[in-house]
Chain A
Amino acid sequence: MAGASEQLARQVRWRPLETAFWLAALAPFAVAPSYLSLASQVAITALFALSLDLLVGYAGLVSLGHAAFFGFGAYSAGLIAKHCWSEPLSALVVSAALAGLLGYALSHIVVRFRHLALIMLTLGFGLLLLEAANSASALTGGADGLQGFRVPGVLGFKFDLYGRTAYAYSLLVLFLCFLVARRIIHSPFGLALRGIRENALRMPAIGSASQAHLRKAYTLSAALAGIAGALLTHTTSTVSLEVLSFGRSADVLVILILGGAGRLYGGILGAIIYMVARDQFSGVNPQYWYFWIGLLLVAVVMFLPNGILGGVSALRKKAQ
C-alpha cells in the first residue's frame, strides 16, 4: 500500500517551474530598476490575493470585504511606527497577529452564512471598518491619512528612492508567506478546506467540525492579509483610508478570479497582470483604464472560467 502515500506526496513536491518562477521574480532588480516600486506594489498585492485565495479558492467562500484585514494590518503597522518603534519585522508580526485576531472575532459571525448573505456581511464589515477609521481621525488621521512616521530601513538596509530595499523586503515576505500558504493547503487542514468547498453538507457526515475549520481559515487568511497591509505601510511610510476601501476589496477579488482561484499561483499571476496593466493603461489614459480591466475580466470569465492559470493547465492536459 505504499502507493497511497506516494499519490498524496506527488502533489506536494516542488516543481521546476516553481523554482523558475521565483528566480524570475528577482529579474526586476537587473532588468527594470526603474520599476522596482511597481514591483513591490505587485508583490504586496500578490500576498493580499494569496490570503484571499485561502478563503475563496480553497474553502469556497466569497468575501467582498477582505480589505478590512489588509487595512487593519496597514493601520496597525502605521500606529506602531508612529507611536512605538520603527523596527519593521517585529511590527509585521504584531500587525499579523492583530489582523488575525480581528479575523478570528469576525469569523464567529461570518461562518454561519453562505452565498449572498455572506457577500453582504463581508461587505458590511468592510464598510464599518472604513467609516470607523474615517471618524477616528485623532488616531488614524481620518481622510488625510496617517502620516508623520518613517520606517528608515529593514535589517540594516535603508529604504532607498529607487525601491530596491522595498522590493527585496516585499518579495522576501511574499515568498515566506507563500511557503506558509503552500504548507497550509497541502496539510490535512487544507484538505478539509477543499472538502468544505466541494461539499459542505457531507463534511459533518464524515465527522468534521466544518465551522471550526472555517474559523481557522478566516484567522489565517486575515493574518496574511494583515501582513500585506503592513508591508504597504512600511514601504510607503504613509497609510490612507484607501487601504480599507471597497475598491481594494473588489480589486483583489478581480485579481484572484483573473489569475485563477484555488491554484496558489493564481493570485500572484493575477496581481502581476492587473498591476502592470493598470500601470500601462493609466499611462496611456489615466481616466479610462478600468475599461480595459473590465474587458479583460469579461474575456477571462467567458472563455477561461477557471482563470488564466486554469486555462493554462487545461491546455497542458490537452497537450499530454
Chain B
Amino acid sequence: MLSVKKLNKSFGSLVVAQDIDLALPKGTRYALIGPNGAGKTTLINLVTGMLRPDSGQIFLGEGENQAEITALQPYRRVRQGLARTFQINTLFPRLTALESVTLAVLEREGHAHNWWRGLPAFGPAADEAASILGSLNVPAEKPTRELAYGQQRLLEIALALATRPRVLLLDEPAAGVPRDESAALFAAVENLSRELTVLFIEHDMNVVFRFASRIIVMVGGRILLEGTPDEIGRDERVREVYLGRSRHAA
C-alpha cells in the first residue's frame, strides 16, 4: 500500500536516510524500531513530505492504483490517503476536540473553503467527527488544551482518522503516556479497520511484540532488518544494536 524506493537524505555530512526500501502491504501492522537517532521520525517526515528527499521515490496505493507521491505537497498526500500523527502533541489548543475533528472531516470532504454557509449546515461532518471521538473515548466538547494528556494523544489519532487514511503513520503514539495506559491506547489502534495499513514507532518492546505483525529495525539511517516478531526476536544483530550492547557506531 505504501512503498519506498532507494530513499536518501543527508543534512550536510550527516546521513539520516540511506537507501531505504520499503513495501508495506495492505492491512499490515508494522512497528518501526531502532535506537534514538536511527532516523525513524525522519523517515516519517520524508514519506509525508515534511522533508524533501535527496533522491528516491515514494508510492501510495497497490497494483493499478499505485501512484507516485514523491513530489506532492504534504496536504495532497493526506488527501490521497496518507495520514500521520506526531510524537509531540500537534493539536489546536483553543479548538474543542469536536471542532478539530470536524475541521479535518470538512477538509476531506472539500467543504473547508466554504465561507458563505454556516457550520450548522454541515451536520453530517460534525456527526462523523463525534462518532470518531466517541470510538476513542475522547470528550468532544472540551477545548483541546483542557483535555488530559492521554486524551490529547488519542485526539492525535482521531484527527488522522478523520482524513480517512489508507495508510496511517503513528509517531510514538504513546509517548509520555504511563505504561499501564499505553496498552489501552494500543488497543484502540488494534481495533482500527483491518483494511488500514498502520506503521507505528514505539520503544516499549512488550507493546511492539504484542501489536505488530511485522517489525522494521532501523539503525543509523539504514534499515537493518525487516521481519516477523519471531524473526526479529531471534536475531542476534538486533539484540546487540537495539539493546545498546554494540560499540555505538552511530
Q: Which residues of A contact B (CB under 8 A)?
A: 1-5, 7-9, 11-12, 183-184, 186-192, 194-195, 198-199, 201-210, 212-213, 216, 220
B99 touches A191 (CB 8 A): yes
Q: Could you say which residues of chain A place their CB within 8 Å of the CB of B122? A: 5, 8, 188
Given A203-B75, A205-B78, A4 contacting B126 (CB threshold 8 A): yes
**Residue contact B141 to A7, C-beta cutoff 8 Å:** yes
Q: Are the C-beta atoms of A199 and B102 separated by less than 8 Å?
A: no
Least CB distance, A29 to chain B, in whole angstroms: 31
CA distance A188 to B129 in the complex (A): 14
Q: In the assembly, what is the distance between CA of A201 and CA of B48, in Å?
A: 13
Residues of A with C-beta under 8 A to B225: none
With a cutoff of 8 Å between Cβ atoms, the chain A residues found around residue B127 in the complex are 1-2, 4-5
| Top 3 closest pairs, chain A to chain B, by CB | A4-B130, A5-B123, A189-B115
B75 contacts A192, C-beta separation under 8 Å = no
- The secondary structure that dominates the A interface is helix
Q: 1/0 per position for B13-46, CB-CB distance to A under 8 A?
A: 0000000000000000000000000000000000
- CB-defined contacts of A7 to chain B, threshold 8 Å: 96, 98, 126, 140-141
Cβ-neighbour of A220 out of B102, B115, B130 (below 8 A): B115
Q: Given the complex, which residues of B lie within 8 Å of A5, measured CB to CB?
A: 120, 122-123, 126-127
A187 touches B118 (CB 8 A): yes
> Shortest distance in angstroms between B93's beta carbon and chain A's nearest beta carbon?
6
Given A1-B131, A205-B48, A209-B75, is A9 in contact with B140 using a C-beta cutoff of 8 Å? no
29 A-B contact pairs sorted by A residue (CB < 8 Å) = A3-B140, A4-B123, A5-B122, A9-B119, A12-B119, A12-B120, A183-B116, A183-B117, A183-B118, A187-B115, A187-B116, A187-B117, A188-B103, A188-B111, A188-B113, A188-B119, A191-B95, A191-B99, A191-B106, A191-B112, A192-B103, A192-B113, A199-B92, A202-B90, A202-B91, A204-B75, A205-B160, A207-B108, A216-B113
Q: Which residues of A contact B160 (CB under 8 A)?
A: 205-206
CA distance A187 to B118 in the complex (A): 4
Check if B90 sits within 8 Å of A201, measured CB to CB. Answer: yes
Q: Which of B48, B75, B93, B140 contacts A208 (CB 8 A)?
A: B75
Contact between chains at B95 and A213 (CB < 8 Å)? no
Partner of B98, one of A8, A183, A203: A8
Q: Report the Cα distance A213→B103, complex, angstroms.
A: 13
**CB of B84 within 8 Å of the partner chain:** yes
Contact of B119 among A186, A203, A204, A207 (CB under 8 A): A186
Q: B203 interface residue, CB < 8 Å from A?
A: no
CB-based contact B107/A207 at 8 Å? yes
Neighbouring A residues of B117 by C-beta, 8 Å:
183, 187-188
Partner of B78, one of A192, A207, A213: A207
A205 touches B74 (CB 8 A): yes
A215 to B74, CA, bound (A): 18
Q: A7-B98, A188-B112, A194-B94 are known contacts; what are 8 more A-B pairs with Cβ within 8 Å?
A: A1-B127, A4-B140, A8-B119, A8-B122, A183-B118, A188-B106, A195-B92, A206-B162
CA distance A12 to B121 in the complex (A): 11
Task: Report the separation of the CA atoms of residues A23 and B144 in the bound assembly, to the nearest whole angstrom.
Answer: 36
Contacts of B123 in A (CB 8 A): 4-5
Chain B residues within 8 Å of chain A by Cβ, number: 49
- Chain B residues close to A by CB (< 8 Å): 48, 50, 73-75, 78-79, 83-84, 86, 90-96, 98-100, 102-104, 106-108, 111-120, 122-123, 126-127, 129-131, 140-141, 159-160, 162-163
Which residue of A has the minimal Cβ distance to B159?
A: A206
Q: How far is the CA of A2 from the CA of B48 in the complex (A)?
A: 35
- Give every chain B residue within 8 A of A191 (Cβ-Cβ): 95, 99, 102-103, 106, 112, 119
Q: Say whether B162 contacts A8, CB under 8 Å.
A: no
The complex places the Cα of A3 from the Cα of B114 at a distance, in Å, of: 23
A195 adjacent to B126 (CB under 8 Å):
no
A220: B residues at CB distance < 8 A: 115
Q: How far is the CA of A104 from the CA of B92 in the complex (A)?
A: 27
| B90 contacts A8, C-beta separation under 8 Å | no
CB distance from A270 to the nearest CB of B (A): 21
CB distance from A26 to the nearest CB of B (A): 26
In the docked arrangement, what's the CA distance between A7 and B102, Å?
Answer: 11
Nearest residue, chain A, Cβ from B101: A206
Task: Decide: A206 near B90, CB < 8 A? Known: A9-B120, A188-B111.
Answer: no
Complex Cα spacing A12 to B95, Å: 15
- CA separation between A204 and B123, bound complex, in Å? 23
Alpha-carbon gap, A12 to B123, bound state (A): 13
